[in-house]
């Protein structure tokens, strides 16, 4: 196999780690993959020395693509979680509005739903504040 084929296999592994583990494990996988590719597949093998601009460029592109894909997967997953929370909030608020307009249900049920929605929003703010 050529270095290009090896890079594609390692890149697929980095994408898999990004999907399963998130941003930081994928960043570690990208750097570790670059080091493994360098040590085992670029001439001279068995050292971390790279001879040739082409091999250096291939390894650099591997790391840049790995970091980019990891970041995109992390942002997409985070936005998916935010969308799910927003969808749940909208459902609760829609139910509350319907109950109020129909005059159904008690104040205790509405108060409980509002408390639940408020706790979801507070949890979402705490989650977004974390790096």
- Give the model's confidence band at 105: pLDDT under 50 very low, under 70 low, under 90 confident, else very high: low
| pLDDT the model gives residue 126 | 60
Are 74 and 64 a contacting pair, CB within 8 Å? Answer: no
Return the pLDDT at 122: 60
Average pLDDT over residues 76-105: 85
**pLDDT value at residue 128:** 55
- pLDDT by residue (tens digit) across 55-68? 899 999 999 999 99
For the record, the structure tokens of 16 come out as: 């898999």
Find out whether 33 and 13 touch, Cβ atoms under 8 Å.
yes
- What's the confidence (pLDDT) of residue 130? 53
What is the pLDDT at residue 121?
A: 58
28-58 pLDDT per residue, tens: 999 999 999 999 988 888 888 888 888 899 9
As given in the structure block, the two tokens for residue 20 are 């399963």
């Amino acid at each position: 196999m050529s270095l290009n084929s090896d890079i594609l296999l390692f890149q697929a592994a980095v994408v898999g780690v990004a999907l399963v583990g998130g941003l930081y494990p994928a960043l570690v996988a990208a750097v570790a993959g670059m080091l493994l590719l360098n040590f085992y597949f670029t001439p001279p093998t068995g050292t971390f020395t790279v001879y040739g601009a082409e091999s250096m460029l291939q390894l650099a592109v591997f790391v840049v693509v790995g970091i980019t894909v990891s970041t995109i997967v992390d942002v997409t997953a985070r936005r998916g979680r935010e969308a799910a929370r927003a969808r749940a909030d909208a459902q609760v608020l829609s139910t509350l509005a319907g109950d109020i307009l129909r005059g159904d249900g008690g104040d205790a049920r509405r108060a409980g739903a509002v408390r639940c929605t408020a706790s979801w929003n507070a949890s979402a703010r705490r989650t977004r504040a974390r790096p």
